[in-house]
């Protein structure tokens, strides 16, 4: 197929090279990708992404949150831009595709515009966002929430990591400037396109290379703090203990049952739990854990949230105190029907098979969907695996998504 279709080997090879290069920026080599926001690995990935943007002839800029933009100027002065991209942070010991696949797709669509001499009326911007995962700063989706003003500049600046380091301190530590402009007015964004790996088994099992996302589940995260009394593991009689870890364990063990009972695809996960003082011969006096709760319908998100909070609070008593803090709440979101149709037409015109799909994972697209027209594509995940070193997707599928976004972006930017 012609270069215009972006379908040639060199596109696939460039994609493969970018993914491999970005995947190298990890603090856990050989044990998956760990690239926390504003870490040394962030800085390495950032420099790489900015270098590629420059090489592709894009105007490179970072905002006051550390999000990176590569802009292809439009002919209409001050026109809203079409953003294409995703995040470049990772979960601890994750994979190389969750986030970077979408960042690389944005870079390659912009390159195709340049390569084919296209001039957009509405500017095209490739974007690489920070802290979607919440691997360092609680809650996640931080780059998109800050950019769109869902959290204020002050709330952003006061956000701290588990060591009490603020976002602003961490930014400065790697040479970023938090005083740069950050918040984007919603009128300044015409559309947002995001490619992401499916992180599930459906596309691979059905042998379909492209999913057109219809909706993204609602999700909420609560932090539960269980307080008891420290004591000597050997001398404190069992009946006199207020063991925070035993109390926390009873809550954690019952959460999956609550999700199963509610059904409708409700899921509940405790992925982060810290025990204090964490001594082998000390009765724990404090346990802090997060519960990640999700469902496709808002009433189910609210339902599991209420059940989980009630369960946690029921553990109080006999020297045990419970504190529950809501850290994030995002309603289920639907993608723009206008953009979904455009993506469907584009993939059809290219002869690329696709199917509608909902997302059980959260994405920056769910934040943008309250402010602009949003479209999302999925590509198959091998074995349906993600958030683990085994995560892998085929660069040829990323190339297919680039082709589809290239066609859709030409329409959205009214390029000629």
Cα 148 → chain centroid? 15
- Provide the 10 A C-beta neighbour count for residue 324: 16
Residue range at the interface with Mn ion (CB under 5 A); choices 33-41, 99-107, 176-184, 297-305:
99-107
Residue found by looking up tokens 């695996």 in the block = 385
Residues 183 and 146: beta-carbon distance below 8 Å: yes
Sites of contact with ligand HGY (CB under 6 A): 132-133, 140, 361-362
Element (H, E) at 83: strand 81-87
Q: Smallest distance, Å, CB 397 to ligand HGY?
A: 19
125 binds Mn ion (CB under 5 A): no
In this complex, which beta carbon is closest to ligand HGY, that of residue 133 or of residue 198? Answer: 133
Of the candidates 203, 186, 137, 189, the one whose C-alpha atom is nearest the C-alpha of residue 380 is 203
By a kind-dependent CB cut-off of 5 to 8 A, residue 362 interacts, out of ligand HGY, Mn ion, none, with ligand HGY
Among Mn ion, ligand HGY, none, the one that 125 touches (CB under a kind-dependent 5 to 8 A) is none
Least distance (Å) between residue 134 CB and ligand HGY: 7
CB of 360 to ligand HGY, least distance (A): 7
Note whether 82 and 336 are within 8 A (CB): no
Min CB(195)–Mn ion separation in Å: 11
Report, in Å, the least distance between residue 200 CB and ligand HGY: 11
Question: Residue 379: which H helix or E strand, with range?
Answer: strand 373-379
Cβ proximity of 108 and 6 under 8 Å: yes
Q: How far is the CB of 133 from Mn ion (least distance, A)?
A: 5
Name the segment binding Mn ion (CB under 5 A); options: 91-99, 168-176, 180-188, 255-263. Answer: 91-99
CA–CA distance, 416 with 71 (Å, rounded to integer): 17
Q: Give the β-pairing of 189-197 and 81-87.
A: parallel
**Cα–Cα distance, 370 to 147 (Å, whole number):** 13
Closer residue to Mn ion, CB minimum distance, 251 or 401: 401
Q: Do 226 and 286 form a contact (C-beta atoms < 8 A)?
A: yes
**# chain residues binding Mn ion, by CB under 5 A:** 2
Residue 98 binds Mn ion, judged by CB under 5 A: yes
Q: Does 89 bind Mn ion (CB under 5 A)?
A: no
For residue 362, report the phi and psi dihedrals to the nearest 5 degrees: -85, 155
Q: Which is nearer to ligand HGY, 28 or 116 (CB)?
A: 28
Beta carbon nearer to ligand HGY, 303 or 362: 362
Residues that bind Mn ion (CB under 5 A): 98-99
């Amino acid at each position: 197929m012609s270069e215009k279709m972006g379908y040639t080997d060199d596109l696939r090879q460039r994609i493969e090279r970018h993914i491999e290069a970005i995947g190298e920026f990890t603090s856990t080599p050989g044990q998956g990708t760990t690239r926390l926001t504003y870490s040394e690995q962030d800085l390495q990935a950032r420099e790489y992404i900015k270098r590629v943007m420059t090489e592709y002839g894009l105007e490179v800029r970072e905002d006051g949150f550390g999000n990176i933009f590569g802009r292809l100027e439009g002919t209409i002065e001050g026109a809203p831009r079409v953003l294409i991209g995703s995040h470049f942070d990772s979960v601890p010991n994750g994979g190389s595709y969750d986030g970077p696949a979408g960042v690389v797709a944005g870079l390659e669509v912009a390159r195709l515009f340049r390569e084919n001499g296209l001039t957009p009326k509405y500017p095209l911007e490739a974007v690489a966002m920070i802290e979607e995962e919440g691997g360092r700063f609680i809650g996640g989706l931080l780059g998109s929430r800050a950019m769109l003003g869902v959290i204020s500049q002050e709330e952003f600046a006061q956000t701290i990591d588990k060591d009490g380091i603020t976002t602003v301190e961490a930014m400065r530590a790697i040479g970023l400037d938090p005083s740069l402009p950050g918040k984007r007015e919603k009128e300044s964004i015409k559309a947002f396109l995001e490619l992401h790996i499916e992180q599930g088994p459906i596309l691979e099992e059905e042998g379909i290379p492209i999913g057109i996302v219809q909706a993204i589940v609602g999700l909420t995260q609560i932090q539960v703090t269980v307080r008891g009394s420290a004591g000597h593991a050997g001398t404190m009689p069992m009946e006199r203990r207020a063991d925070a870890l035993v109390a926390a364990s009873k809550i954690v063990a019952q959460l999956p049952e609550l999700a199963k009972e509610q059904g409708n695809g409700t899921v509940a996960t405790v992925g982060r739990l810290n025990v204090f003082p964490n001594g082998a011969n000390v009765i724990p006096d404090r346990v802090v854990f997060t519960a990640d709760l999700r469902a496709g319908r808002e009433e189910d998100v609210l339902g599991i949230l209420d059940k989980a909070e009630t369960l946690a609070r029921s553990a109080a008593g006999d020297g045990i105190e419970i504190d529950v803090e809501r850290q994030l709440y995002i309603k289920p979101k639907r993608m723009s029907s206008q953009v979904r149709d455009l993506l469907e037409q584009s993939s059809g015109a290219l002869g690329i098979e696709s199917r509608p799909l909902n997302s059980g994972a959260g994405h920056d697209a769910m934040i943008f969907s309250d402010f602009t027209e949003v479209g999302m594509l999925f590509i198959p995940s091998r074995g349906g695996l993600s958030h683990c070193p085994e995560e892998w997707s085929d660069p040829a599928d990323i190339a297919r998504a680039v082709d589809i976004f290239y066609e859709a972006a030409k329409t959205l930017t009214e390029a000629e």
